Amino acid sequence: MARIELTGIRKSFDATEVLKGIDLTIENGEFLSLVGPSGCGKSTLLRVIAGLEPQSAGQVTIDGSIVDGIRPSARNLAMVFQSYALYPHLSAFDNMAVPLRMRRLSTVERLPLLGSLLPSRRRRERSIRADIEKVAVQLEISHLLQRKPAQLSGGQRQRVAVGRAMVRQPEAFLFDEPLSNLDAKLRVHMRAELAELHRSLRSTFIYVTHDQAEAMTMSSRLAVMISGELVQVGRPAEIYDNPRDIRVAEFVGSPKINVMPGRIRDDGRIEVLGNILRLTSSQPPGNCRIGVRSERIELGSGPFSGDVIHVENMGAEAFVHLSLNGTDMRLIARVNDVRRLPDIGSHVPFNFAADAVLAFNSAGQRIAVTAEQAERIRERAVV
């Protein structure tokens, strides 16, 4: 149970700055995902929190006390690694016992032969065994405790790694892409299980992933990192609906958001692909970019049109890839009714609602747009 505060965290490797001043507060009991494309510095940030990597500047605070310069072992955080990092020579039980033995046994008690003769060691070993068995029941790995990591499947190893983190009841759990070595089906399953685990432990979870689906489905809050900076922090739905930056909009959501080149006209109205939208912006005239999520594109009618070049039918839904006339731009539209899919090669008109539009300026910043009042249009039509 811990509140973790990061202030102005910077990290450079030689000349390259990997973290460019990160400020973030992780509340007690929160499930926060650090998400971003590969190489954005999210793993480095997690390692800074764990203490495995010293930051070049800034401060890490756990529960009000500054932990800079404090060894990882003294921070009382648990970490689950991408490769699980189980000790290959130890059984699952012994793997889970390591953090407990390191903390509860003295150096003398840990000695191989001599230590086991001490009565205090035997007493402590009993309590360690009890704790491990309790966690093993919770994770449904009781029958695997005597096996070596090599005799376990990927999913089982993952559970043992989580168990090793759980047994010592740490202040917070750090996960470094723990699901990326699992196959797709198991990954979806473990996603739900980890979220459930978080609910039952009510501990602080910091979860690093490059998979936006994982981040969206599991976390209570998302921190999107792009090239060493925190671009946006918020609830998953908020980030999906209201991205502050085009990079966030492009990263979150699958398939990727459709981005079209647009222009803010002198009268403040926005023009896309030769059509004027019922949207105005207070921004100065010039080029802009228009993002529309694939599920907001309606095929069938409208001022826009494109050629169908590919159809991905998932069974419950389908993605129609469109090539826009005369350009090499492509759009993806989600169709919920898979019985009415356009043929490949056909020419289809499409449209999208004004409130589906996310507009960004040429620097990629989100810009505010206001929908035109319906009356105004009617007035103009009269004139």
Partner 1 sequence: MSDSAATISVRIPVRATAQRRSRPSLTPYALVAPALTLMLMMLLGPLAGVIALSFTDYQLGAPSLSWIGLANYHEMFADKVFWISLRNTLVYVGIVVPGAVTAGLAIALLIQSGTSLRSLYRTIYFLPVMATLIAMAVVWEFMLHPQFGLVNGVLREVGISGPSWLQGRSTALYALCAIGIWQAAGFNMVLFLAGLVSIPKQLYEAAEIDGASSAWARFRLVTWPLLRPVTTFVVVISGIRSFQVFDTVHVLTKGGPSKSSEVLIHTMYTEGFEFFRSGYAAALAVVFLTFILLLTLIKSRLADRGAQYA
Q: Which is nearer to partner 1, 54 or 349 (CB)?
A: 54
- Under a CB-based contact definition with an 8 Å cutoff, are residues 187 and 179 in contact? yes
Answer yes or no whether residue 79 interacts with partner 1 by CB under 8 A. yes
Binding flags for partner 1, 9-48, as an x/- string (CB under 8 A):
----------------------------------------
- Under a CB-based contact definition with an 8 Å cutoff, are residues 361 and 308 in contact? no
Answer yes or no whether residue 201 interacts with partner 1 by CB under 8 A. no
Which residue type does 88 have?
Answer: P
Which residue type does 366 have?
Answer: R
What is the pairing mode between strands 204-209 and 172-176? parallel
Nearest-approach distance from CB 63 to partner 1, in angstroms = 18
**206-265: which residues touch partner 1 (CB under 8 A)?**
none
**153-182: which residues touch partner 1 (CB under 8 A)?**
164
Rounded distance between C-alpha atoms, residue 297 and residue 233, angstroms? 27
Q: In the set 4, 19, 46, 50, which binds partner 1 (CB under 8 A)?
A: 50
Answer yes or no whether residue 92 interacts with partner 1 by CB under 8 A. no
Answer yes or no whether residue 98 interacts with partner 1 by CB under 8 A. yes
Q: Which is nearer to partner 1, 139 or 320 (CB)?
A: 139
Binding residues with partner 1: total (CB under 8 A) = 25
Nearest-approach distance from CB 163 to partner 1, in angstroms = 12
Which residues have a Cβ under 8 Å from the Cβ of 63 and sit 6 or more positions away? 2, 3, 171
Rounded distance between C-alpha atoms, residue 68 and residue 75, angstroms? 10
**115-154: which residues touch partner 1 (CB under 8 A)?**
148, 150
Distances (CA, A) of 85 to 47, 92, 157, 173, 181: 15, 12, 9, 15, 12
DSSP secondary structure letters along 65-134: EE-TT--GGGTTEEEE-TT----TTS-HHHHHHHHHHHHHS-HHHHSTTHHHHSHHHHHHHHHHHHHHHH
Answer yes or no whether residue 87 interacts with partner 1 by CB under 8 A. yes
Q: Which is nearer to partner 1, 73 or 373 (CB)?
A: 73
- Under a CB-based contact definition with an 8 Å cutoff, are residues 270 and 277 in contact? yes
Nearest-approach distance from CB 371 to partner 1, in angstroms = 52
Answer yes or no whether residue 113 interacts with partner 1 by CB under 8 A. no
Nearest-approach distance from CB 85 to partner 1, in angstroms = 4
Give the binding site for partner 1 (CB under 8 A): 50, 52, 71-74, 77-79, 81, 83, 85-90, 98-99, 102-103, 110, 148, 150, 164
